[in-house]
Amino acid sequence: MSTTHQTVPVALGDRSYDILIGDGLLARAGDLVKPHLKRPHTVIVTDENVARHHLDSLQGSLSKAGVSSDAVVLPAGEKSKSYATLAELCDRLLAAGVERRDTIIAFGGGVIGDLAGFAAAILRRGVNFIQIPTTLLAQVDSSVGGKTGINSPYGKNLIGAFHQPQLVLADLGLLKTLPRRELAAGYAEVAKYGLLGDRAFFDWLDKNVGKLFDGDLATIAEAVAVSCRMKARIVAEDETETGVRALLNLGHTFGHALEAATGYSQRLLHGESVAVGMVQAFRFSEKQGLCAPQLASRVAAHLKAAGLPTHTSDIPGELPPPAGLLELMRQDKKAVAGRLTFILVRGIGEAFIAKDVPDADVLAFLEEDRNRT
């Protein structure tokens, strides 16, 4: 464990904050968090798995810095991003005495970050919160940028708010307890940054992906820092996604349909849906003549080597036919007047926003893609 860390600033005027990235930050969390608190008390929101491995350490570190804490421990998994769990969480935060000037801590993966962040956005019309992300996915993506929310029966993340955290503490040491499958799911979002806007980073990942999965801390630190720097730059330019921020959704229009079709279940994790969706975005771009042939195969080979699914046939169980998947895509938040928006590519690191993609082209692609062996 080291006592050094990297700092990536997110420049958003009076809502600016830092992302701290390093090993051993949880042990220093009390001292790092305390300056952001108006009184020496906080409520931690976490899930059962994170609580089992790491809650004592966080509470111990807070206590050493003179900060008392309560904890709300919720069931793990995507199903907690629901109206029911949001209601339960808000009531438990009120029961714990959270006041307008208090700060809560979201301590977990993207599910806890999105849910606790949304509760913070609406509780007493908005309280402060700090993100302590515990999955690779949350450290490189969901804890940064202020998107918070829950799912609706109509689709994913459809109920939510932009609410920026005060601070993000990404302790790389926490990833040691993360199951391999979850690490790979998070890796899909790391690869996404290279694929959407940084070819040199993707080439670097190609060379270093093995070390990352072997737990080499310097490699993980570099991957997380490059990812966070790109996300911070894009969020600073377009906080509420009126333009360039949509690029962060590479693979998501295809992927969200697959996630909905598999019921947001263990059949397909969010990061896995992004992996399959990114390969589809590359294949669709190839079919539209937008990028050179064979790029999709290179991307698929890279993601497969990381242990990710790269084709719909890798997803266990039946999927709806192409027309059904297209219907599920219509709930995508990027849709305008029912027309879908896709993030397509001209090459590795060259994603762009494509509006007005004809439904017939998407349907023909999905038909062809499902028969691909």
Interface ranges with ligand GLY (CB under 6 A) = 141, 145, 147, 245, 248-249
Nearer to ligand NAD, 141 or 332 (CB): 141
Instruction: Provide the minimum distance between the beta carbon of 316 and ligand GLY in the complex, in angstroms, as a whole number.
Output: 25
Give me the amino acid identity at 265. Answer: S
The separation between CA 92 and the C-alpha centre of its own chain, rounded to angstroms, equals 25
End-to-end CA distance of the chain: 45
Torsion angles phi and psi, residue 263, rounded to 5: 70, 30
Contact partner at residue 299 from ligand GLY, ligand NAD, none, CB < 5 to 8 Å by partner kind = none
Instruction: Provide the minimum distance between the beta carbon of 189 and ligand NAD in the complex, in angstroms, as a whole number.
Output: 6
What length does the chain have?
373
Instruction: Provide the minimum distance between the beta carbon of 259 and ligand NAD in the complex, in angstroms, as a whole number.
Output: 8
Nearer to ligand NAD, 100 or 176 (CB): 176
Tell me which of 8, 116, 138, 296 binds ligand NAD, using CB under 6 A: 138
The separation between CA 16 and the C-alpha centre of its own chain, rounded to angstroms, equals 20
- Asked if 53 is part of the footprint of ligand NAD (rule: CB under 6 A), the reply reads yes
Q: Encoding tokens for residue 169?
A: 């503490």
Interacting span for ligand NAD (CB under 6 A) from 34-42, 90-98, 107-115, 319-327: 107-115
- Asked if 174 is part of the footprint of ligand NAD (rule: CB under 6 A), the reply reads yes
Nearer to ligand GLY, 141 or 198 (CB): 141
Contact partner at residue 251 from ligand GLY, ligand NAD, none, CB < 5 to 8 Å by partner kind = none
3-state secondary structure of 164: coil
Of 135, 197, 131, whose CA–CA distance to 165 is shortest? 131
Q: How far apart are CA 238 and CA 152, in angstroms?
A: 25
Contact call for residues 343 and 281 (beta carbons, < 8 A): yes
Interacting span for ligand NAD (CB under 6 A) from 20-28, 105-113, 206-214, 296-304: 105-113
Q: Which among 5, 163, 192, 270 is annotated as catalytic? A: 270
CA distances from 34 to 110, 143, 150, 177 (A): 23, 19, 28, 26
Contact partner at residue 245 from ligand NAD, ligand GLY, none, CB < 5 to 8 Å by partner kind = ligand GLY
Alpha-helix residue ranges (DSSP H) falling in the chain: 29-33, 48-50, 56-64, 83-95, 110-122, 136-137, 180-197, 199-213, 217-237, 252-261, 270-287, 295-305, 322-329, 359-370
Contact partner at residue 114 from ligand NAD, ligand GLY, none, CB < 5 to 8 Å by partner kind = ligand NAD
Contact call for residues 193 and 140 (beta carbons, < 8 A): yes
Instruction: Provide the minimum distance between the beta carbon of 279 and ligand NAD in the complex, in angstroms, as a whole number.
Output: 18
Give me the amino acid identity at 373. Answer: T
Please identify the residue of the shown chain whose CB is closest to the bound ligand NAD: 110
- Looking only at the bridges linking them, the beta strands covering 351-354 and 342-345 are antiparallel
Contact call for residues 93 and 119 (beta carbons, < 8 A): yes
Count of residues that interact with ligand NAD, criterion CB under 6 A:
31
- Asked if 270 is part of the footprint of ligand NAD (rule: CB under 6 A), the reply reads yes
Q: State the chain's maximal CA–CA distance in angstroms.
A: 61
Q: Which among 5, 81, 252, 334 is annotated as catalytic? A: 252
> Is 231 in the active site?
yes
Nearer to ligand GLY, 149 or 322 (CB): 149
Catalytic residue list: 125, 147, 189, 231, 241, 245, 249, 252, 256, 270
Residues in contact with ligand NAD by CB under 6 A are: 47, 49-50, 53, 76-78, 81, 108-112, 114, 134-135, 137-138, 141-142, 145, 147, 156-157, 174, 177-178, 182, 185, 270-271
